Amino acid sequence: MTAISLSDVLDARERISGVIHRTPLIYSRTFTLISGVKVYLKLENLQKTGSFKIRGACNKVFSLSPEDGRKGVITASSGNHGQAVAYAARMRGYDATVIMPECGSAAKAASIKGYGAELLYCGTTSDQRISLAKEMSAERGLTFVPPYDDPCVMAGQGSVGLEIMEDLEDVAAVIVPTGGCGLISGVATAIKEKNPGASVFGVEPDGSNSTGISFRAGVRTALEDINTVADGIRTTVPGELTFPVVQRYVDDMLTVTDGDVLSAQRLMLERCKLLAEPTGAVSLSAILSGALPDKFKGRRVVALISGGNVSMSQLAEYLSAN
Ligand SMILES: *Cc1c(COP(=O)(O)O)cnc(C)c1O
């Protein structure tokens, strides 16, 4: 038994469909010519709040009883998940608290405040933030919304997989950027329980490949150091609930370099006029770098472009560096 099944993903989609965008799935002639793979891009960089994280956050927040909701929600992520939780809570009129690291970026703080959440600062590591969040949730009755290791969050993220299958026939493979594995566990559940013939691949940068290492070892294995430009997936170990789903449904884990990621990001901007954050371009980079097995040449492959949140000053640095 894994934490979620297809019916949870179908329920999630029903619950959140009035609020999220159904994002476009586009064919890219340019990337098809470059790679020999028929490349389709699922554009979650155009999703509300700039990433798919709104799907899981809404499914979790909308599943709360009104009593629990009125007490408020809390999370410890300063990035895309923090923005998504703030947005989801506001949709329901609930209070949200987001705990950021003391060194957190002003741009992210402004965006989270803009969605109406209260911001608190604590320490520098995610462990410090998560333990404060859990403490406050116990003391004040706030519901903690985990970034990936939660059945409602996983099922919400899986709704991306349903949309892909409805919008495209004969999908040979779907490629997913992988951090704590909430996204890939939901997407793989949707895809494999509907269409077991399609492959699902996770991709990580080589400086942050804890899921690949765990997948090969057959057991969750933590990394000591994380070093990657893909700041949405700097996770030291895959989730307790998500990893068994990865073991059951994911065909393989692929690895790319930061250089591959930044060059995919740049090409998307240059050729398709689409802005992805580095993490969002990780999936496309697996196709362009040749990490995807050759047998997919000539077949339909979907790269999930998971987010587009990058500040213009950071973008300028990435573009001038390569
Ligand atoms: C969170 C995130 C991911 C990874 O999702 P997990 O559920 O942690 O595996 C990928 N891309 C972007 C843009 C993200 O914000």
* From 53, 60, 108, 192, active-site residue: 53
What pLDDT sits at residue 195? 96
CA atoms within 13 A on the CB side of 169: 0
> Are 158 and 176 spatial neighbours (Cβ–Cβ below 8 Å)?
no
Does the beta carbon of 153 lie inside 6 Å of ligand 1? no
Q: Mutate which of 23, 42, 51, 175 to test ligand 1's pocket (most atoms within 8 Å of Cβ)?
A: 51
Nearest-CA residue for atom 4 of ligand 1: 179
Residue 262: left if φ>0, alpha if ψ -120 to 50, beta else—which one?
A: alpha
Is residue 42 domain-shared with residue 188, that is, in the same domain?
Answer: yes
What distance in angstroms lies between residue 319's CA and the mean position of ligand 1's atoms? 22
Reported as a single tens digit per residue, the pLDDT across 5-28 is 999 999 999 999 999 999 999 999
Query: In the structure, what pLDDT confidence band is assigned to residue 322 with cuts at 50, 70 and 90?
Result: low
What distance in angstroms lies between residue 32's CA and the mean position of ligand 1's atoms? 25
Is residue 285 domain-shared with residue 262, that is, in the same domain?
Answer: yes
What distance in angstroms lies between residue 236's CA and the mean position of ligand 1's atoms? 13
Reported as a single tens digit per residue, the pLDDT across 126-166 is 788 889 999 999 999 999 999 999 999 999 999 999 999 99
Does the beta carbon of 2 lie inside 6 Å of ligand 1? no
Does the beta carbon of 185 lie inside 6 Å of ligand 1? no
Mean pLDDT (whole number) for 193-221: 97
SS3 297: coil
pTM given for the model: 0.97
- The CATH number of whichever domain residue 67 belongs to comes to 3.40.50.1100
For residue 1, being part of any structural domain is answered with no
Does the beta carbon of 53 lie inside 6 Å of ligand 1? yes
For residue 81, being part of any structural domain is answered with yes
Nearest Cα neighbor of 210 from 184, 176, 243, 235 is 235
Asked whether residue 213 carries a pLDDT value surpassing 70, the answer given is yes
What pLDDT sits at residue 123? 85
What distance in angstroms lies between residue 232's CA and the mean position of ligand 1's atoms? 5
Query: In the structure, what pLDDT confidence band is assigned to residue 110 with cuts at 50, 70 and 90?
Result: confident
Q: Which of 110, 144, 178 is at the close of a domain? A: 144
What pLDDT sits at residue 44? 98
Nearest-CA residue for atom 11 of ligand 1: 306
SS3 307: strand
Reported as a single tens digit per residue, the pLDDT across 37-88 is 999 999 999 999 999 999 999 999 999 999 999 999 999 986 899 999 999 9
Known active-site residue 63: no
Is residue 184 domain-shared with residue 267, that is, in the same domain?
Answer: yes
Altogether, the residues listed in the chain come to a count of 322
What pLDDT sits at residue 105? 75
Is residue 232 domain-shared with residue 304, that is, in the same domain?
Answer: yes
What distance in angstroms lies between residue 253's CA and the mean position of ligand 1's atoms? 15
SS3 274: coil
* Mean pLDDT across the chain: 95
Mean pLDDT (whole number) for 208-233: 95
User: Which of residues 124 and 231 earns the better pLDDT score?
Assistant: 231
Nearest-CA residue for atom 7 of ligand 1: 182
State the closest ligand 1 atom to the C-alpha of 45, by its place in the atom list counted from 1: 13
Domain count, the chain: 2
Is residue 169 domain-shared with residue 90, that is, in the same domain?
Answer: no
Does the beta carbon of 282 lie inside 6 Å of ligand 1? no
Question: Which segments within the chain are labelled E, that is strand?
Answer: 25-28, 38-43, 73-75, 96-100, 118-121, 143-144, 171-177, 199-205, 252-256, 300-305
Q: Supply the range of the domain harboring residue 17.
A: 6-51+151-321
Query: In the structure, what pLDDT confidence band is assigned to residue 4 with cuts at 50, 70 and 90?
Result: very high
What distance in angstroms lies between residue 248's CA and the mean position of ligand 1's atoms? 20
Known active-site residue 53: yes
